[in-house]
Amino acid sequence: MSNIDLSRFHRTFFDESLEGLDAMESALLRLDIGQADAETINLIFRSAHSIKGGAGTFGFTAVAGFTHLLETLLERVRSGQRQVSQADVDLLLRSVDVTRAMLRAADGGDACDLDNVARVSAELEQALDMKPAVVAPVAARPVAAGWSIRFIPKPDIFASGNDPLRILRELDRLGDAGITCIADDLPELGAIDPERCYLSWNIALRGDCDEAAVREVFAWVEDECNLEILPLDQPVATAASVEGMEAAPPAPDAGGRVVKKPQLNVVEGGKAAAESSIRVGTEKIDALINLVGELVITQAMLQQTAESLDPVLNEKLLQGLSQLDRNTRMLQEAVMSTRMLPVEAVFSRFPRMVRDLAAKLGKQIRLETVGESTELDKGVIERIADPLTHLVRNSLDHGLETTEQRIAAGKNPTGTITLRAAHQGGHIVIQVSDDGRGLNREKILAKAAERDVPVPPNPADADVWQLIFAPGFSTAEAVTDVSGRGVGMDVVKKNVQALSGQIEITTEAGKGTTVTIRLPLTLAILDGMSVRVGDDVFIVPLNCVVESLQPQPGQVKALTSNARVVKVRNEYVPLAPLHQHFNIRADAQHAETSILVLVESEGRKVAVQVDELVGQQQVVIKSLEANYRRVHGISGATILGDGRVALILDVAELVRGYARAAAA
Amino acid sequence: MSRILAVDDSTSMRQMVSFTLKAAGYDVTEAEDGLAALNLAKTQKFSLVLADVNMPNMDGLSLVRALRGLPDYKFTPLLMLTTESTPEKKAEGKSAGATGWLVKPFNPEQLIATIQRVLS
Amino acid sequence: MSATPQSSPETRPEALAAGTGMPNEFLTFTLGEEEYGVDILKVQEIRGYDTVTKVPNAPSFIKGVINLRGTIVPVVDLRLKFALGRADYNQFTVMIILNVARRVVGIVVDGVSDVMQLTPEQIRPAPEFGSNVNTKFITGIGALEQRMLILMDIEKLISSEDMALMDSASVH
């Protein structure tokens, strides 16, 4: 009848099913055993249910079979027949894994472990207390010559959207139907309620269909009619009574139905309607982002020109322009958002991993995540996942003590690993912290000596911690199931550096270790404060800004001939006159007549001296290095609404320079 | 051309239903949950609504119940897409006001046959 | 205002038929009194002089950076770099956007003339002197009728350390 190739929907099915599994997994992980809330259970159920439905429809029988078990178990939970236990959650999580593996295999990935599928299936069946289904033998019935049917619809049958006419027509398709209409109950015309059905029918259906097929026709109206189906003994003369059908009252024309039989018209290659997710090369998105940037600029130019027009005479034009303004901005946001993902995309893999590994290691570990919504370029997200995984494994395996050790040390028996993401000074900072035992200076030095890793003379603590990243330091380590796998911290460092990032370690014996990864924003969005110095506009990353102030006479003090500080409350903050730093013109030469923007980085503050605060805006960070070079004190550039380029201050670098100068 | 509203939270199922029915010559509008469907149905008239049962925001049963309460949908065929073929599930659908059901999994041919059953 | 210089393709077959070497096309521009040519394949487009954002602590011949359809592109005024002509900026000031060493760079010149075809026979080796531009950036002299074209190795020039356009690590 149709040649619709279902494979066109497979991509979407795989994508949405894998997403569904992710949602299911995180819902399972946050499920409160004992008082599971209905919405979470529903969400989990719906995911399994959708996958099962899709898998069945699209022909992935094995997936459909497996998820059917999963769904059945979840249905019992949902309906309150079963209380979820920790064991159930474990089983469900493993089922998620199995489903995922099956889907990946079906999607042309690696074959999945069939033994594991069988094992988990068996566990599900056991949990369901299922016995092999016994198929009741169907008694062979003699096929009748046909059926005599008495069909008496209830008066309100129309209210279910069913139309007796449709049923009669379907019966006629099963064989040769002789239909007699019985209109005895039809009231007088004036008393007829067109929403009610007053007619009934006798049908003599001749043909070799079985009773089930006849019942199937009435399946939807079982409760809306009285039905009698008996084998037809004698042949019935059909011709005479077909008028009955014509005599049936017209169904209320509520459906606006069209009698014309729809034509099946499958157009080959008509894929457009089918695909809602497609893969797009990032270079295409970048090209779009740039084009939209151009559009924004053109739009801003038009807006500027229009400002000189008479608002009364040009009302329509101005309205159109303001609409264009809104649309352009929305378009820009939409296009930009395609490149950005919240860091949650990578953080979300860790709850599961920590849970599983903690169980394996016999440790009690809690995972905290902070700043999951921090947006990060998709490319960076993809490439940061592996280094982060390694760091989290390390914390689990080596960083955190066993429960006994923690109790002995007087610490909370449950160790905590914290994943934190934030924008900081034109960078994205991702931290992996644990409250474990901290790094041991002596052990690291001993190991470095053993592995022939070069050690600087009289190393400071920070230098010792850096040894961990030396090639060869950790690769030869006993390959434990958890953090081994032959990947050392040197690889982590290399990966981070490949993203032009930096990696640092801070640690305190007995208190824990924090690894900080600082990544530049190649194409990230930043909340910025635009400031003006003379003719130039700079962007100060808003998250570095503590406050801005107009200094009072006497608030600024000279330390040396070119180092000054400003007293803010009880703190002396080094003054950073931007015009001097960048060798540019400023309106105000003296701090007393200008504006100070207090910025903070790495725990230190400086007061940046500017002429004016222009405003706050989100800016896209553009690389200055792609076509030019690195500029001291500048972390990147951005394009302002009017199309001009503005430079973004590298606050961390400024703070380091001025704080050091002030300390000297 | 008959206008059909296809409601399913699963994108692939929605696409499959929509594609199949469009290929069969119907005018199909998609909605991803009951609430979205109800809002569409309030502003436009559809000749038939095909709704999944399990959906976030508003499930299929609630949708059918709500639609039957609208004067425009008093007699409109409302079909449920269901994976459960147990009598209780069907009874639930019927008592909510559904015209009938189509049991998942189904293939495009079964889908068209069912729709034609109601619309032709 | 931007234009991509187009050569006239119909002249190519003639040159080939004459049995001479493949002609090369050069975009010609003036700097002060002299006429220069750069390989047309390195030219991305020609634009009017835009608002330039100054870059702190850059040499004076680096005018700053512009936004070229979303990309940050540095602009060098070759007139300042080679101390040629008067570095005025008005509505006629022209910028050639180059694509060299996998980078996009704008150069400001006195004016763009046209696109010229030169066969290898028409190109003579660079003299040791006689140009304001250091000879190490000159590949030859193109002679066509009355005109003398100084052919510039623009890639080498842009990449050179004294242009200060790249981090020293990436200077070739």
What is the structure's pLDDT at C170? 44
| pLDDT > 70? residue A74 | yes
Please check the confidence at residue A248 and state whether its pLDDT lies above 60.
Answer: no
Q: Measuring CA to CA, how many Å separate A524 from each of A194, A483, A628, A640?
A: 64, 31, 19, 15
Nearest alpha carbon to residue C133 among C66, C63, C61? C61
**b/e per residue A66-94 (b: at least 16 CB within 10 A):** bbbbbbbbbbbbbeeeeebeeebbebbbe
User: What tokens does A559 get?
Assistant: 């330390």
Q: Chains meeting B at 3+ CB pairs closer than 8 A?
A: A
Spatial distance between the Cα atoms of A282 and C78, rounded to a whole number of angstroms: 35
Q: What is the pLDDT of residue C133?
A: 67
**pLDDT band of A139, cuts 50, 70, 90:** very low
For the segment A626-653, the average pLDDT, to the nearest whole number, is 87
Q: How confident is the model at residue A474 (pLDDT cuts 50, 70, 90)?
A: low
Beta bridge partners of A609: A577, A596
The pLDDT of B106-119, averaged and rounded, is 86
For residue A39, what pLDDT band results from cuts at 50, 70 and 90? Answer: confident
pLDDT at B84: 63
Mean pLDDT score, A541-559: 85
Residues of C in contact with A643 (CB under 8 A): 51, 67
Mean pLDDT confidence for A296-316:
80
8 Å CB contact of A252 and B75: yes
User: Is A64 a residue whose pLDDT tops 80?
Assistant: yes
Q: How confident is the model at residue A649 (pLDDT cuts 50, 70, 90)?
A: very high
Checking if the pLDDT of A524 tops 60, the result is no
For the stretch C94-126, pLDDT in tens is 899 999 888 999 999 888 888 888 888 888 887
pLDDT > 70 fraction of chain A, expressed in percent and rounded: 84
**Is residue B23 within 8 Å of residue B49, measured between CB atoms?**
no
Q: Is C54 helix (H, G, I), strand (E, B) or coil?
A: coil
**pLDDT surpasses 80 at A520:** no
Q: Which residues of A touch B45 (CB under 8 A)?
A: 256
Question: Closest partner residue to A258 among B1, B52, B117, by Cβ?
Answer: B1
CA dihedral A581, A585, A588, A591 (to 10 degrees): 0
Candidates A179, A181, A160; CA nearest to A169 is A179
Interface residue A646 vs chain C (CB under 8 A): yes
For chain B, the residue count is 120
The answer to whether C101 contacts chain A (CB < 8 Å) is no
Q: Report yes or no: B114 at the A interface, CB cutoff 8 Å.
A: no
- Predicted pLDDT at A480: 44
Structure tokens at A527: 């909340």
Q: What is the pLDDT of residue B85?
A: 59
* Chains in contact with A via at least 3 Cβ–Cβ pairs below 8 Å: B, C
A409 close to A401: Cβ distance less than 8 angstroms = yes
Interface of B with A in 66-105 (CB under 8 A): 68, 72-78, 81, 83, 91, 94, 97-101, 104-105
Pick the closest to residue A146 from A238, A84, A37 (CA basis): A238
d(CA C160, CA C155): 8
The length of chain C, given as a count of residues: 172
Go through A424-447 and write b for each residue having 16 or more CB atoms within 10 A of its CB, e for each that does not. bbbbbbbbbbbbbbbbeeeebeeb
Q: Contacts of residue A160 in chain B, CB cutoff 8 Å?
A: 94, 97-99
* Per-residue pLDDT at B102 exceeds 80: yes
Give the DSSP H or E segment for B90. helix B87-96
Quote the minimal CA–CA distance from B84 to chain A in Å. 10
* Position with higher pLDDT, A533 vs A243: A533
A interface mutation test: which of C44, C54, C67 has the most A CBs within 10 A? C67
> According to the model, what pLDDT value does residue A144 have?
61
Contact check, Cβ <8 Å, C55/A628: yes
How near does any CA of chain A get to the CA of C40, in Å? 20
Confidence bin at C130 (pLDDT 50/70/90): low
- Least confident range of A349-358, B102-111, C126-135: C126-135
Q: Among candidates A47, A92, A278, A273, which has minimal Cα distance to B10? A: A47
Contacts of A275 in chain B (CB under 8 A): 15
pLDDT at A267: 38
Contact call for A255 and B116, based on CB within 8 A: no
**pLDDT 10s digits, B6-43:** 999 988 899 899 989 988 889 999 999 999 999 999 88
Nearest one of B11, C74, B4 to A18, comparing CA atoms: B11
C64 DSSP 8-state letter: E
Asked which of A14-28, A250-264, C105-119 is least confident by mean pLDDT, the reply is A250-264
**pLDDT score of B64:** 93
Please state, for a pLDDT cut of 90, what percent of chain A lies above it. 15
Predicted confidence band at A33 (pLDDT cuts at 50, 70, 90)? confident
- What is residue A612's predicted lDDT score, i.e. its pLDDT? 94
Question: Which of B18, B91, B99 minimises the CB distance to A160?
Answer: B99
Average pLDDT over residues A601-608: 79
Residues in chain A: 664
* CA-to-CA separations, A283 to A627, A656, B37, in angstroms, rounded: 17, 36, 37
List CB contacts of A2: < 8 A, sequence separation 6 or more: A264, A266, B20, B23, B24, B108, B109, B112
- Looking at the complex, report in whole angstroms how far the Cα of residue B87 sits from the nearest Cα belonging to chain A: 11
pLDDT-based confidence at A476, cuts 50/70/90? very low
Residue range A117-122: mean pLDDT, rounded: 87
Cβ contact A629–C53 (<8 Å): no
In angstroms, the CA A643 to CA A622 distance is 13
Distance from CA of B5 to the nearest CA of A (A): 13
Q: For chain B, give percent helix, strand, coil, nearest 5.
A: 50, 20, 30
Higher-scoring residue by pLDDT: A233, A628? A628
Residue B93 contacts residue B82 (beta carbons within 8 Å): yes
* DSSP summary character for residue A580: H
Most confident residue range from A110-114, A219-223, A649-653, B31-35: B31-35
Q: What is the pLDDT of residue A135?
A: 42
Looking at residue A606, its pLDDT comes to: 92
End-to-end CA distance of chain C: 33
Distance CA B20, CA A33 (A): 43
Quickly state the pLDDT bin for C1 (edges 50, 70, 90).
very low
Residue A531 clears pLDDT 90, i.e. is over it:
yes
Between these two residues, C85 and C10, which has the higher pLDDT value? C85
What mean pLDDT, rounded, does chain A reach?
79
- Model pLDDT, residue A275: 41
Tell me if A627 and C67 make a contact (CB, 8 A cut-off). no
| Rounded Cα distance, A531 and A518, in Å | 25
The answer to whether A627 contacts C104, with C-beta atoms less than 8 Å apart, is yes
Asked if C69 is an interface residue toward chain A (Cβ–Cβ < 8 A), one would say: yes
ipTM of this complex prediction, to 2 decimal places: 0.85
- Asked if A536 reaches chain C (Cβ–Cβ under 8 Å), the answer is yes
Query: Which residues of B, range 5-44, sit inside 8 Å of A by Cβ?
Result: 9-13, 15-16, 18-20, 22-26
Output the six-digit token pair for A354: 């920590």
Q: Which of A210-224, A244-258, C98-112 has the lowest mean pLDDT?
A: A244-258
Which of B5, B11, B12 to mutate against chain A (most A CBs within 10 Å)?
Answer: B12
Backbone φ and ψ for A390, nearest 5 degrees, come out as -65, -40
- Please report the pLDDT score of residue A264 as a whole number: 38
Q: What is the pLDDT of residue A426?
A: 56
What is the DSSP-derived secondary structure letter of residue A397?
Answer: I
pLDDT of residue A595: 94
Rounded Cα distance between B58 and B55, Å, is 6
Best residue in C1, C44, C55, C162 for a mutation probing chain A (most A CBs within 10 Å): C55
- Asked whether the predicted pLDDT for residue C160 surpasses 50, the reply is yes
Q: Is the pLDDT of residue A498 over 80?
A: no
Across the interface, do C70 and A630 touch by the CB < 8 Å criterion?
Answer: no
Residue A327: pLDDT band by 50, 70, 90 thresholds? confident
Nearest to A595 by CA among A618, A580, A578: A578
Which amino acid would we find at residue A524? A
List the one residue out of C77, C66, C135, C131 whose CA is nearest residue C104: C66
Contact assignment for B15 to A12 by CB distance below 8 Å: yes
Tokens 């269909």 — which residue?
A209
Ordered alpha helix ranges (H), A307-398: 315-337, 344-347, 350-361, 378-394
